[in-house]
Amino acid sequence: MSSGKNKLPRATLEQKIAALDFYRERRAKDDEVKTSQADIVKHFRDKISISTSSFSEWVKNEASLRELYNRSNGAHRKSKRKLKFKYEEINHEMDLIVQERLKEGELVNEPFLRKHWCRLAQKYGVDNPKRLQSFSHGWLTQFKKRHGIDKQSRERNREVPKLNPSIPPTLGASRIQLQPPEPLQREQPQQDQNRRLQLTQNGEVGGFGLEEYNEEYMNLQNYETLITNQSNFLQQQLNVRVPPQQVSQASPLQQDVIPPILAPRNRLIEQQQQQQQQQQQHQQQQQQQIQRLGEPQESTQQRGSQRDSQPQIQQLQMLMQQLQQQQLQLQDALNSQQTSTLSDGDFELFFTKYGGEFLDYNRDKYPESAKLFEHFLIVFKREREIFNERRLRELITKR
């Protein structure tokens, strides 16, 4: 019983960090004689349960312990168990995303968190199907509390000074300087603010339609001020008139935009047009050559020398025949190009290469389209196999 009472408690995460700080501080000061790990164990032996092997393990994992300490709250720092988050990589990236968005003064709501969670869950290969779709309620509660965006934290910071609405909202609340308000721009921003609030309460922000969460995030710190700033900024942009010349120049550019999936077909058309132009140029050159041969013939006829004109006449007839043959070949090529279509293999390659790659890369944007596209390819391959079998039977029966 006496040994059980005198047993020292296990070191908490906070105590481990304190021992590591003391170790680094002593080693930095002692230039002549470096402090050993055994000295640190002797110093803390009467306070916590520590040994040379355990402290050596702390020093080995110092980086991970300090990262865990910085990311955990007060309760976890005093925990005696070895902490390990289930979704450590996802938590780390979510922390960085939310910190950056709060720094810019942007709104952080549940649809925003769910969107990035689903992307990161697919990236790190989460096994649980439910967690691929969304996070748990407990994770959301702890995450909001850790970043100070829960209801209790917002109530403590609800009273904030009114800011100058003329400052753009992208500066963030921490860098905005207080200035006297401008009464001339109060009426129109208030209408825009009421409209923005109505849209948020109706669940249109984020596209998920969750009224119970949107109302909660409406009370985020500095949210009303940021809405007012955004309204004023948009109103200034609407008052700027665009010159008519810029509008007329911008419209043809929009008409020339070609979707990437149509690029192969457009390249085929361009090649056909280039071939046609080359054949037309070659035909014009032959006609010019014929005209040049005809001029000497007329001059010889006027001089009455039929002997010199006979070879030129034969050469002219040969050129005329070649020209007629080339015209026929050109006409056949044009007819074949007009009537040609993609083969079954080209059609399948076109969709699998461009359509498949596009939907694989944008599966999070178009999940239903990706499912329909996969079903379409399966049905197309099955129908093509059936057609090939039927055609093979017909060829066998004809023989």
The pLDDT tens digits for 157-166 are 665 444 444 4
The verdict on residue 287 lying in a domain is yes
Structure letter (DSSP) for residue 170:
G
Residue in 371, 350, 349 with CA at minimum distance from that of residue 360: 371
- State whether 287 and 317 are in the same domain: yes
**42 and 55 together in one domain:** yes
Q: What is the per-residue pLDDT across 83-121, written as a single tens digit (0 to 9) for each?
A: 455 677 888 888 899 999 899 988 889 899 999 989 998
Give the model confidence (pLDDT) of 232-278 as tens digits. 555 555 554 544 444 444 444 444 444 444 555 567 778 778 888 88
Domain-terminating residue out of 18, 43, 77: 77
pLDDT digits (tens, 9 = 90+) for 11-23: 888 889 898 998 8
Q: Tokens at residue 301, please?
A: 């006829």
Segments forming the whole domain that contains residue 34:
2-77
Residue 34: partners with Cβ closer than 8 Å, 6 or more residues away: 27
Last residue of a domain, one of 77, 110, 125: 77
If pLDDT is split at 50, 70 and 90, which confidence band does 30 have? Answer: low
Nearest to 223 by CA among 100, 109, 97, 105: 105
Count the Cβ atoms, other than its own, within 10 Å of residue 97: 15
User: What is the mean predicted confidence (pLDDT) over 138-142?
Assistant: 85
Question: Token pair for residue 378?
Answer: 């399966």
**Helix, strand, or coil here: 49?**
strand
Q: What is the DSSP string of 356-391?
A: HHHHHHTTTT-HHHHHHHHHHHHHHHHHHHHHHHHH
Residue 285 lies in a domain: yes
- Considering the domain architecture, whether residues 203 and 327 belong to the same structural domain is answered as no
Tell me: pLDDT of 391 over 90: no
Residue 202: inside a domain: yes
Residue 125 sits in the same domain as residue 213 = yes
Q: Does residue 83 form part of some domain?
A: no
Asked if 191 contacts 205 with a C-beta cutoff of 8 angstroms, the reply is no
Q: How far apart are CA 163 and CA 341, in angstroms?
A: 65
Q: Residue 264 has what pLDDT?
A: 56
Taking all residues of the chain, what is their mean pLDDT, rounded to a whole number?
70
Buried b (16+ CB within 10 A) or exposed e, 147-183: bebbeeebeeeeeeeebbbebebeeebeebeeeeeee
216 and 282 belong to one structural domain: no
Across the range 71-92, mean pLDDT stands at 62
Residue 181 banded pLDDT, cuts 50, 70, 90: very low
Same structural domain, 155 and 275: no
Residue 51 belongs to domain with CATH number = 1.10.10
Q: Does 282 reside within a domain?
A: yes
The pLDDT, as a whole number, for residue 386 is 92
CA distance 81 to 358: 47
Q: Considering the domain boundaries, does residue 241 fall inside one?
A: no
The answer to whether residues 274 and 358 belong to one domain is no
- Do 133 and 221 lie in a common domain? yes
Q: Are residues 92 and 164 in the same domain?
A: yes
Q: At what angle do helices 137-146 and 88-103 cross, to 10 degrees?
A: 50
CA distance 88 to 137: 17
- Do both 92 and 227 map to the same domain? yes
**Whether residues 136 and 58 fall in one domain:** no
Domain boundary at 33, 55, 77, which? 77
Range with top average pLDDT, 308-312, 333-337, 392-396: 392-396
Confidence (pLDDT) at 237: 52
Q: How many domains does the chain have?
A: 4
pLDDT value at residue 196 = 46
Q: Do residues 96 and 59 both lie within one domain?
A: no
- Is 82 contained in some domain? no
Residue 69 lies in a domain: yes
Integer-rounded Cα radius of gyration of the chain: 39
pTM, to two decimals: 0.25
* Inter-residue contact 154 to 218 (CB < 8 Å): no
The pLDDT of residue 189 is above 60: no
